[in-house]
Structure 1
Amino acid sequence: MPARRVVTGRSQEPRKRFAEELRKLRLERKLSFRALGNALGWDATLFSKLEKNETLGGPEVVQALDTYYGTPGLLLALWELAAGDQSQFKERYRRYMLLEAEALSLWHYAVSIVPGLLQTAAYAREVLALGGASGEDLTREVGARIGRRDLLLGDSAPPFRSILSETVLRTPLTDRNEWREQLEHLLAMGERRNITLQVLRQSAGLPALTNTHTMFLKLTDGRTVAWVETAYSGDLVEETASVERLQLGYDQVRDLALSPVDSRKFIAEMVEEAACDQLI
């Protein structure tokens, strides 16, 4: 597997950092703005404005650039940080997003909602709307969240494991059809070689991580960091002892969870239940 791209060490101001990376990638390939525009189907002036920090563009053009340059998820993560700089993204979340784009492997525990990397557009829209986003901001945030899935796609995608509390699978969306599509999407993503899904049944009892969504990232320098999130806040945990305590709790949750095979069967049963609910 190719080494993940390290994105730290340059500008830490989100918009400048985004423009800087765009320029670096283009110059590395000795491309003119016209050549880039012809390759991707956008006007060449757009790419000039992006590199001059005159515009941020939208998630669709950034996703196209990620695909073209072979940097799955990196540019979109930087774009989300730059866009979020206008929406008062917290500094610790900005740093987490950069680290996520670099990670060699990721593992996660979901307490109550589907993790962002596995959400459909409809699921992301309902979750983000509950957080107060609306209008163009909501559309932009949904596009950015869905685009982050590129991190898990492609030949060099990092391994990702997610343990889903049964509560996640029994808390539907308002639209039952959209909920069934989300469950089907989980099954489809779980078929990918780099993605492992497990379910923690309610009958397993209280888990070690009872109320905190937790993501662990293995970084290019060998360190592991964790992002812990509740409904109201999130925090990047980098201190080794604290990360190790969280990892111990995660290991206990993993020991209680269904195997990947049995988890897939359980999610398939949830899909069937959702389909039956639509007929009632």
Structure 2
Amino acid sequence: MPERRVVTGRSQNPRERFAEELRRLRTERGESLRQLGEQLGWDASLFGKMESGETMGGPEVVEALDTHYGLPGLLIAMWEIAMGDVTRFKEQYQRYMGYEAKAVSLWQYSVGAPPGLLQTPAYAREILAAGGIRGVELDQQVEARMSRRKLLEGPSSPAFRVILSEAVLRTQLSDPNDWRGQLEHLAEAAERPKIKLQIVPFSAGPHSLTNTDVMFLRMPNGTTMAYPENDLRGELIEESSRVEQLQLRYDSMRDLALPLAESRKFITRVLEEVPCEPST
């Protein structure tokens, strides 16, 4: 009987597993990204983004890699499985958006960026572009994100409690004026009667949600669901026991946050540190 191949320790996520395999194949050959790009006729940066999971590439480039490594059909099959996983993620996100529009209350913790509902157009554009989105798609996604902000407007808007890590207030945009605009928007949002905004300072130390963004949605029927996410993906959780586990983590983290008034003062102090620069 042939020896069984051990895969323990490798990612079980199809997209991450595909990226791992691309890195492994190239490094075992001793090729640099530049050499790979020269041999296959694509820019080396594309292969770097594929190996980091930032992009999946297209069928043509995956087929070329399949041939290059002498693995007829294997990489194409892995790519198709991973793309199916991406499709499921998009469908799940669309379901989340539908629930968000109907929620009677929302509460969120953000690790490194303001929640989309509180982002300015300039902030949304820069953070989306940092994720590799360009051109018309970038314009469309910025517009879509800005349209979501209307959810917090008007008498029927849901109550929204948002807790931000101090890192959100320290990770600046490239343009100081755009960054000032984002901080001013957060300060203004903190004054709205239906928005409760708090800050978890660095001095609070590690906590139960140190590396996890999460949004909770309370629905009209009384049920609650959660949507934890990172830069690459999110997961809509409807199972009550899993939602409760995340809620306990959220409550534990909230105990470390500054009170509402102190949080507003904290944002104002950070805002005062931003230099005023003339617009060009």
Partner of 1:205: 205
Equivalent position amino acid for 2:126 in 1? E
The structure number with the bigger radius of gyration is: 2
The Cα shift of 1:190 comes to: 1.2
1:130 and 1:170 mapped to 2: Cα distance? Answer: 17
- 2:257 corresponds to which residue? 257
Query: 2:67 corresponds to which residue?
Result: none
Quote the residue 2:109 is aligned against.
109
TM normalised by structure 1 equals 0.67
Deviation string, structure 1 residues 219-278 (Cα, Å, up to 9, x no partner): 1111100000011110001111110010001001111000010000000001100136x4
1:134-188 CA deviation, whole Å, 9 max, x = no partner? Answer: 1111011001101101000101111001000000000000111100110000011
Alignment of 1:125-274 (within 5 A): 125-274=125-274
| Code of the aligned partner of 1:173 | L
Percent identity of the aligned residues?
A: 55
> What SS does the aligned partner of 1:234 have?
coil
For 2:201 and 2:158, the matched residues in 1 are separated by 27
Q: What SS does structure 2 have at the residue aligned with 1:256?
A: coil
**CA distance in structure 2 between the partners assigned to 1:257 and 1:144 by the alignment:** 31
Separation of aligned partners in 2, 1:143 and 1:163: 25
Give a deviation string over 1:36-62, Cα, whole Å, max 9, x none.
xxxxxxxxxxxxxxxxxxxxxxxxxxx
List per-residue Cα deviations over 1:53-105 (Å, max 9, x = no partner): xxxxxxxxxxxxxxxxxxxxxxxxxxxxxxxxxx9671110110000000000
Output the CA distance in 1 between the equivalents of 2:138 and 2:232: 18
* Cα distance between partner residues in 2 of 1:98 and 1:147: 14
Aligned to 1:76: none
Equivalents in 1 of 2:274, 2:249: separation in Å? 32
Residues 1:95 and 2:95 aligned together: yes
Which residue identity is paired with 2:254? R
Deviation at 1:113, TM superposition (A): 0.7
Partner Cα distance (1:142, 1:160) in 2? 21
Per the TM alignment, residue 132 of structure 1 is displaced from its structure 2 partner at its CA by 1.6
Number of aligned pairs?
A: 192
Secondary structure of 2:196's match? Answer: strand
Name the SS for the 1:235 alignment partner. coil
Residue type at the aligned position of 2:141: E
Q: TM-score, normalised by structure 2?
A: 0.67
Structure 2: runs of 5 or more not aligned? 1-85
Give me the whole-angstrom Cα distance separating, in 1, the residues matched to 2:102 and 2:151.
Answer: 10
Q: Structure 2 CA distance, aligned partners of 1:248 and 1:207?
A: 12
CA-based RMSD: 1.4
- Helix, strand or coil at the partner of 1:142: helix
